Structures are given as structure tokens and as C-alpha cells.
Amino acid sequence: MTMDDVEIRDRLREVEAELVRLRESAAAIRQEIGERWDAPTDAAEMATVITNAEQQESLIETLEARRERLLQRLGTS
């Protein structure tokens, strides 16, 4: 089953919107980490925050790869 250009463009818009959301979220988490680096905090809590940021960045990489595949499909349709 193949997607037509309209479906690909719709998916591409969804992926790009999700990328914007995730980048903003990851930046906010990283900013929180930076603001708390010298504040008294629980090590486990800080590890959780760092893990959350890393997971967001991993999702961003996955979505960027998906976006590239969609763009390639548009180029070959």
C-alpha cells in the first residue's frame, strides 16, 4: 500500500509539529537542569530529569529520521 503525496505531506506536517513540541520540551528540561546544577536536589530526582531529557532527544532523532524518509518518498513520487 502506498501513500499519495497528500498523505505524505499530512504525515510530514504531523512529524514536524511533533518535532517542534519535543525540541521545546527537551530545551525546557535542559534549562531546568542548568538552573538546578548548584541547588540542593536529590540525586535520584536529577537522574530522572536527565533521563527524561535523553529520552526526548532520542525521540527527536527518531522523528528526524522519519521526516527524512517522508521527504525522500515525496521526492520519488
pLDDT score at 37 = 65
Confidence (pTM): 0.79
Best CA proximity match to 58, nearest among 46, 70, 66: 66
pLDDT score at 43 = 82
Would you say 15 and 70 are in contact if contact means Cβ atoms under 8 Å apart?
Answer: yes
pLDDT score at 75 = 86
Query: Residue 19 burial by CB count (10 A; 0-12/13-18/19+): exposed, middle or buried?
Result: middle
Give the span between the Cα atoms of 3 and 28, in whole angstroms. 35
Domain edges within the chain: 5-76
* pLDDT values of the chain reduced to their tens digit, one per residue, 77 residues: 567 889 999 999 999 999 999 999 999 988 888 877 666 678 888 888 889 999 999 999 999 999 999 999 988 75
pLDDT score at 2 = 65
